[in-house]
Structure 1
Amino acid sequence: AAAPAAPAAPAAPATADSPGDIVSSEPSSFHPLPHQPTDTKAWKIHYRSTTAKGEPNTVSGTVIVPQDGRKGPRPLITYAVGTVGVADRCAPSAGFPKGTTLEGNLIQQLTLRGWAVAVTDYEGLGTPGDHTYTVGRAEGQAMLDAARAAIRLPEAGLGKDTPVGIMGYSQGGQASSWAAELHGTYAPELDVKGTATGGVPGDLLKVAKFNDGLYGSGLIFMAAIGQDAAFPELRLDSYLNDKGRKLIGALRDSCVADGSVLGSFKTIASMTTKNPLEQPDWKQRLTESRVGGARPDAPVYQYHAFADELIPYAVGTKVRADWCARGANVEWHTVPVGDHVSAVMTQSPYAAQWLAERFAGKEARGNC
């Protein structure tokens, strides 16, 4: 992450040649909560990936492998976390050794099944430059390349025949949905068995309009940082008034808890001299991150809380409708009780069980 006043620095050029190649690795550790032991080994990795513009970059992440004595191939989940913030210290890899990564307990559900897990930090979160938050293509590519990197990490003991599952919720739902759509063209050699995705922000313009001035409005301003990081020609700073510049500067150094409070109940109009979301170039870039434009080539388990207060339910059902219209195999679940955050906690065990059935070779029936 860049200092607030400085332009985003480009990510360091990778010395590795192909997407998914390991640039560096070092031992780490995985603790779902502070000091909570797990029977796992973990490595922090830097690996080659690709920006939304198709240029090589380096992304960090974590590979976690259960130490259960299992011989032979074990499944691998490439896992994308929900919004953590845009400051480098918010990266999942920074929190795992301390037990402060928000979804640590959800990830432990996977390692207890004997599955290896690769968790991307996403572009710019723990590496130079601003985090490209909400830029779907960059997130999806970082997820697929995290799986490649885990398979190429000798210590992990995985092989080219490793069955792969894709999993994520919220921002991770956008990332996992993009990974599902990109798999066939970007990383077809990965043996992807299925994708479990939820709370998908499939249409960023609709999500922004829904949250403007409300509890979740901080997410809009974080998304503006992310889009501007991927596409500096959008010139976010040229739209900000003094209040907006102060807020964006504070958000660049915030994680999700404080960032959400800083940005909540603020309108786009109160922070800008004119609304970037009404400009053709911003509209175009946000539209490029829509989910539903391509058919996932492996089955999908998708869920969304009916009363989601951050990502409208109708945005999730539109993703389902678009995928179904393209002939995808989608098993849809409405979460009838709860909100955005509670849905991932109640549904993760079902999503993991659905992936277990895919790894076991059972047919995915879908309910389009």
Structure 2
Amino acid sequence: MSVRKRIAAALLAATIAGAGSAAPAAQAAESRGVTIPDFYTPPATLPADNGALIRTEPLPLALSLPGIDSPLPGRATRIMYRSTDSTGRPVAVTGSYLEPAAPWLGLGPRPLVVLAPGTMGQGDQCSTSLALQRGLVVGADDGQTTISIGYEILAIYRLLAKGIAVVQTDYPGLGTTDRLHTYVNRVDEGHAVLDAARAATALPNTSITTRSGVGLYGYSQGGGAVASAAELQATYAPEVRLKATYAGAPPANLAEVTAAIDGTELAGALGWSVNGFIQSDPELRAVADRYLSDSGRAALADLSTMCVGDAIFGYAGRHSTSWTTTGQSLADIVQAEPALRAFLDEQRIGARKPAGIVRVATGVNDNLVSHGQARTMAADWCKLGGSVVYEPVSLPATGSPLVNHFGPLLTDQGPAVDWLGHRLAGLPAVSTCAILPLQP
């Protein structure tokens, strides 16, 4: 039985009991018919320092063209590096570094952007670094199918075309075979983003130096990850020269987002959240055991190996009331259980002043990762004295929450990449906190 199947079986039997146990290094991992390369199995012992490289290897890009001096848009390296999770334990994280073929035309050394991917899923086959190599990941096994598309490639290549180096993180547990991905865990993601910048700086034979300015880019799950990283930089990674952050559609208040996505096309993300929460805080398992029905446990086990496309096909329109013995929704259970409320309160983004200047973009009709909670995060940062450029994206509302959420990603991506490039080139930006109360 593969690593992922053993974890899924444990989920079904005991509400993800044992999900964090290490996988035997001798056995190749597999997830829904996709063999996970040995690179993604962490060693038994990790380095002492956060951001330290554990291993690297050349990463052939699925979308690459021959160039005179180097392939276009650049050369890629798969990386594994050390980070620290929300429990204070060391964790191995994978990702990739991309050295641009294009020259950097701005002042100073070539800058670096850490790209935090949007929702990819919870199966190891869903990692962005694997998608960069394969473009399209497809698998089938025992009646289970999977498909994963590297949709972040467009943003990565836009940055490379400007001569900006990019390092992307896969997040803890997404790719690495020793644990489940702790989906939308604020600390896990923020640490992974900052440690990716450290790891890129430690790579040999790149044009990045310790003097390189650093920017952060993320939308949706990635928007929350970089927003958290901007809050954590001063205390966790003060040596990272963070200049600017683009945080698009951040899930800053998970209690509100949980209520919003229930019953939508992305309802499967509720399962990823619960799986991750229990792994991060095993005391929540007792709460889950009191409420989850057999069908709920089966759904969590199934979702633990799914990518975002799989979850849309398999769970679109589902309501979490069908997963509980009481018929309550997950949002109702959160309100009824102090331990869950306390856990989600600790996950809230917006209670700490961010470093550098942050561009917060959110679709005014986004009812998936709800607009109101993202705007509140920006307003809270302004109250704390943060430097914030708030950008409400106005698009017509549709009957699809998924379209309402991803429409602003496509519309705003070009302006967001341009804005980040200008900040890294040294051009100033003025905070718009003064006019935020007048904006939708």
The TM-score with structure 1 as length reference comes to 0.94
> Separation in 1 of the partners of 2:430 and 2:415?
15
Give the stretch that moved more between structures: 70-79 or 106-115.
70-79
**1:14 shift after superposition:** 4.5
Please, which moves more after superposition, 340-349 or 69-78?
69-78
Say if 1:315 and 1:70 are closer, same or farther in 2 by CA, change over 3 A: closer
Q: Is residue 249 of structure 2 the alignment partner of residue 249 of structure 1?
A: no
Tell me, what secondary structure is at the counterpart of 1:156?
coil
The count of aligned residue pairs is 367
Residues 50-61 of structure 1 mapped to structure 2, 5 A cutoff: 50-61=84-95
Decide which of 20, 25, 33 is 1:9's aligned counterpart.
20
Q: Is the counterpart of residue 289 in structure 1 residue 347 in structure 2?
A: yes
Amino acid at match of 1:140: G
- How far does residue 212 in structure 1 lie from its aligned partner after superposition? 2.1
Q: Match for residue 260 of structure 1?
A: 312
SS of 1:183's equivalent in the other structure is helix
Between the aligned partners of 1:296 and 1:345, the Cα distance in structure 2 is 25
Q: Which residue does 2:53 correspond to in 1?
A: 22
Amino acid at match of 1:345: L
Give the drift of 1:182: 0.5
Alignment correspondent of 1:165: 215
Give the secondary structure class of the aligned counterpart of 2:268: helix
User: CA distance change for structure 1 residues 120 and 10 in 2, over 3 Å: closer, same or farther?
Assistant: farther
Aligned mates of 1:349, 1:161 — CA distance in 2 = 26
**Partner of residue 359, structure 2:** 301
TM-aligned CA distance change 1:325 to 1:21, over 3 Å? same
1:123 aligns with 2:165: no
Contact 2:52–2:198 (CA<8 Å) still a contact in 1? yes
Question: Larger Cα Rg: Structure 1 or Structure 2?
Answer: 2
Q: Distance in 2 between matches of 1:247 and 1:319?
A: 31
| In 2: Cα distance, 1:324 partner to 1:31 partner | 41
How much does 1:34 deviate? 12
Q: Deviation at 1:33? A: 8.8
Residue 93 of structure 1: how far off its partner (Å) = 0.9
TM-superposed CA distance for 1:49, in Å, is 0.2
Preserved contact between residue 264 and residue 318 of structure 2 (Cα < 8 Å) = yes
- Aligned alpha-carbon RMSD (Å): 2.1
Q: 1:205 to 1:70 in 2, by over 3 A?
A: closer
CA distance in 2: counterparts of 1:237 and 1:202, whole angstroms: 23
Shift, 1:136, TM fit:
0.7
**Greater CA drift, 251-260 or 116-125:** 251-260
Aligned partner of 2:410 in structure 1 is 345
Paired position in structure 1 for 2:25: none
Q: Is the 8 A contact 2:226 2:245 kept in 1?
A: yes
Shift of 1:342: 1.7
Structure 2 counterparts to residues 107-146 of structure 1, below 5 A: 107-127=156-176, 128-146=178-196
Query: What residue in structure 1 maps to residue 76 of structure 2?
Result: 42
| Per-residue deviation, residues 104-150 of structure 1 (Å, max 9, x unmatched) | 11110000001111100000011111000010110010000001000
CA contact (8 A) 1:34 1:99 kept: no
1:364 correspondence with 2:429: yes
Aligned to 1:89: 125
User: What's the CA shift for 1:215?
Assistant: 3.0
Q: Distance in 2 between matches of 1:347 and 1:331?
A: 14
Q: CA deviation at 1:52?
A: 0.7
Post-superposition shift, 1:258? Answer: 1.2
Note if contact 2:65-2:72 (Cα within 8 Å) is conserved in structure 1. no
What is residue 230 of structure 1 aligned with on the other side?
Answer: 280
Identify unmatched segments of 5+ residues in structure 1.
none
Give 1:285 deviation, angstroms: 1.4
* Counterpart-to-counterpart distance in 2, 1:189 and 1:307: 38
Q: Which among 68, 82, 97 is matched to residue 63 of structure 1?
A: 97
Residue 208 (1) aligns with residue 268 (2): no
CA distance in 2, matches of 1:281, 1:161: 43
- Is it true that 1:354 corresponds to 2:419 in the alignment? yes
User: What is the CA-CA distance between 1:10 and the residue it aligns to?
Assistant: 4.4
User: Matched residues in 2 for 1:48 and 1:198: separation?
Assistant: 26
Q: String of CA shifts for 1:230-262, please: whole Å, max 9, x gaps.
A: 222211751321111221111112100111232
Whether 1:186 and 2:236 are equivalent positions in the alignment is yes
Identical residues among aligned pairs (%): 35
Counterpart CA distance in 2 for 1:336 and 1:96 is 31
TM-score of the two chains, using structure 2 as the length reference: 0.79
Deviation string for 1:136-173 (max 9, x for gaps)?
Answer: 11001000000100010113331111110011000001
**Distance in 2 between residues matched to 1:292 and 1:172, nearest whole Å:** 15
Taking the aligned partners of 2:212 and 2:194, their CA distance within structure 1 comes to 13
User: Is the contact between residue 72 and residue 101 of structure 2 (CA under 8 Å) also seen in structure 1?
Assistant: no
Partner deviation per Cα, 1:55-105 (whole Å, 9 max, x = no partner) = 111111111111236697211000101101000000001110112311111
Q: Is the 8 A contact 1:30 1:64 kept in 2?
A: no
Query: Distance in 1 between the 2:194 and 2:282 partners?
Result: 25
CA contact (8 A) 1:33 1:99 kept: no
The alpha carbon displacement at 1:39 in A equals: 2.9
**For 2:99, what is the secondary structure of its paired residue?**
strand
| AA aligned opposite 1:178 | S
Equivalent AA in structure 1 for residue 87 of structure 2: K
Letter in 2 for 1:357: H
